[in-house]
Amino acid sequence: MTTGTIASEFAPPAAPAPLTPDALRVVDLPTPYLVTDLDTVAERYAGFTAALPGVATFYAMKCNPAPEILRTLADQGAGFEVASIGELRMLQALGVDPATVLYSNPVKPPGQIAAAAGMGLWRFSFDSPNELAKIAEKAPGSAVYVRLRVDDSNSMFPLSRKFGTDVEDAYDLMLLARRLGLRPYGVTFHVGSQCGSTSAWQSAIRLAGELMERLRGDGIELEMLDLGGGFPARYRAGVPSIEEIGAVVQDALAELPYRPALIAAEPGRHLVAEAAVMAATVIGREMRGDENWLFVEVSTYHGLMEALQTAGGWDFPVWSSVPELPGTETLPFTITGPTCDSSDTIGYGIPLPATVTVGDVVYFGSAGAYSLSYATAFNGFQPPTPVFVGTGQPRARR
Q: Which residues are tagged catalytic?
A: 340
Element (H, E) at 281: strand 276-288
Task: Give 161's contacts (C-beta < 8 A, 6+ positions apart).
Answer: none
Strands 155-157 and 193-195: antiparallel
Count how many residues are written for the chain. 398
Backbone angles phi, psi at 141, to 5 degrees: 80, 0
Paired sense of beta strands 330-336 and 318-320, if any: unpaired
What is the residue-wise DSSP string for 189-231?
Answer: ----EEE-BHHHHHHHHHHHHHHHHHHHTTT---SEEE--S--
Per DSSP, the three-state class of 387 is strand
Q: List C-alpha distances in Å: 208 to 171, 188, 245.
A: 11, 8, 17
Backbone angles phi, psi at 185, to 5 degrees: -105, -40
Q: Whose CA is closest to 220, among 262, 256, 171, 264?
A: 171
Alpha helices in 94-238 (DSSP H): 110-119, 129-138, 167-179, 198-216
329 exposed, middle or buried (CB, 10 Å; 0-12, 13-18, 19+)?
exposed
The whole-angstrom separation of Cα 170 and Cα 147 is 8
Its sign, for the CA torsion 331, 337, 338, 341, is negative
Work out the angle between the directed axes of helices 167-179 and 129-138 (0-180°, nearest 10).
Answer: 30
Distance CA 75, CA 95 (A): 11
Find the Cα–Cα–Cα–Cα dihedral 54, 56, 60, 65, rounded to 10°.
120
Give the distance, in angstroms, between the CA of residue 30 and the centroid of all CA atoms in the same chain. 28
